[in-house]
């Protein structure tokens, strides 16, 4: 799975960081949380929400989710 940050909006708790990941197989919430952690935003501090996983016409999967722009 390849994950990356697509957008960062605002600062602090109300700010959001948007992630996207692609894979040959369906991406689970656990895998997305691990990918977020590898990018430096551990879900326990930055949160994790808005997760979706969609199968594309070519058979691959794309997932998207968000976290807070600030660690609490």
For residue 10, how far is the Cα from the chain centroid? 17
Quick one: what percent of the chain has pLDDT higher than 90?
89
Q: What pLDDT is attached to residue 13?
A: 81
User: Which structure tokens are listed for 51?
Assistant: 């997760």
Number of domains in the chain: 1
Dump pLDDT digits (tens) for 34-46. Answer: 999 999 999 999 9
Tell whether the model's pLDDT for residue 72 goes beyond 80. no
Going from the C-alpha of 29 to that of each of 21, 33, 38, 49, 62, the distances in angstroms are 11, 6, 14, 10, 12
Q: Are 69 and 33 in contact (CB under 8 A)?
A: no
pTM of the model: 0.92
Confidence of residue 30 (pLDDT cuts 50, 70, 90): very high
State yes or no: pLDDT of 31 exceeds 80: yes
Q: Which residue range(s) make up the domain with 44? A: 2-68
């Amino acid at each position: 799975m390849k994950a990356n940050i697509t957008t960062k909006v605002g600062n602090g708790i109300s700010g959001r960081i948007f992630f996207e990941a692609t894979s040959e197989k369906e991406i689970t919430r656990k895998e997305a949380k691990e990918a977020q952690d590898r990018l430096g935003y551990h879900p326990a501090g930055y949160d994790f929400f808005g997760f979706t996983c969609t199968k594309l016409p070519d058979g691959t999967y794309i997932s998207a989710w968000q976290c807070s722009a600030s660690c609490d």
